[in-house]
């Protein structure tokens, strides 16, 4: 399994891969990272010398609501019979280290740490048995949510779709499999969420089949698989860290946006 980063190094945007603890250039096949890559020269200074970018810029982010057994119990709702889908716009994506901005006047805003799937091939009506043939890798995502808006509206577009409400990163775990992984969220170092993807109601293969029956997923599109129990609010000055086992830690500060 490779950890593939998109970075800025000495003014140049490039992909880089962590191989045996050394950061090296990842040279995309025919200019398309989803077709594959070769490992090139070391990146001078390693991760300490680069600025991390969101590892992918999706055309759409397909999110799944109420997809952890422990979260369903937390909010007192029955387990859904089918995946509950909603979309986040591409404009919600921000880089690791970039600020989550709290819109003025929206009330409570929450973190939601999640495991996310990055699609590597155009996917239309993919049977679950073939799902991993279409998956490029796994990453971390924070499904930031304006909770007060969510509680008063039946649709999720507004409460989930604000600019900066989809931090992604720090990398893509290319070649990762569907083994159970711990998912944790910390705010200012204090652990708020701690669960495992073994708690998923609908697993990755099921989600790929279900979603691609509805819509075609393009290379770089993201499926965010849902959040476990422990959701809670964030405020100006906080730092939110989402960690998924085997992938890495996604860190973002929180800032109140001026009216």
What are the backbone dihedrals phi and psi of residue 48, each rounded to the nearest 5 degrees, phi first?
-70, -15
Q: What percent of the chain has pLDDT over 70?
A: 100
Residue 103 to residue 215: CA distance in whole angstroms: 30
* 187 pLDDT more than 90: yes
Whole-angstrom distance, CA of residue 143 vs CA of residue 224: 8
Asked whether 172 and 3 are in contact (CB, 8 A), the reply is yes
CA distance 144 to 131: 27
Give the predicted TM-score (pTM) of the model.
0.96
Give per-residue pLDDT as tens, 217-257.
Answer: 999 999 999 999 999 999 999 999 999 999 999 999 999 99
pLDDT digits (tens, 9 = 90+) for 99-130: 999 999 999 999 999 999 999 999 999 999 99
Helix ranges, the chain (H): 69-75, 147-152, 157-160, 204-214
The pairing of strands 93-94 and 100-102 is unpaired
């Amino acid at each position: 399994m490779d950890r593939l980063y998109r970075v800025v190094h000495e003014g140049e945007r490039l992909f880089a891969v962590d191989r045996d603890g050394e950061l090296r250039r990842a040279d995309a096949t025919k200019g398309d990272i989803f077709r594959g890559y070769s490992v090139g020269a070391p990146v001078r200074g390693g991760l300490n010398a680069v600025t991390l970018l969101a590892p992918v810029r999706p055309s759409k982010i397909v999110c799944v609501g109420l997809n952890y057994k422990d979260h369903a119990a937390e909010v007192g709702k029955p387990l859904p019979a089918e995946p509950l889908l909603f979309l986040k716009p591409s404009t919600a994506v921000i880089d690791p280290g970039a600020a989550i901005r709290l819109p003025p006047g929206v009330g409570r805003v929450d973190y939601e740490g999640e495991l996310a799937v990055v699609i590597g091939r155009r996917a239309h009506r993919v049977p679950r048995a073939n799902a991993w043939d279409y998956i490029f890798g796994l990453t971390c995502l924070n499904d930031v949510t304006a909770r007060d808006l969510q509680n008063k509206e039946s649709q999720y577009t507004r409460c989930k779709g604000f600019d900066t409400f989809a931090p992604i990163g720090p990398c893509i775990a290319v070649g990762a499999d569907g083994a159970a992984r711990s998912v944790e969220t910390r705010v200012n170092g204090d652990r708020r969420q701690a669960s495992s993807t073994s708690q998923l109601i609908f697993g990755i293969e099921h989600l790929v089949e279900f979603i691609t029956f509805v819509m075609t997923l393009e290379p770089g599109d993201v499926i965010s698989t849902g959040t476990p129990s422990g959701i809670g609010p964030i405020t100006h000055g906080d730092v939110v860290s989402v960690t998924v086992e085997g992938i890495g830690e996604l860190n973002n500060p929180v800032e109140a946006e001026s009216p």
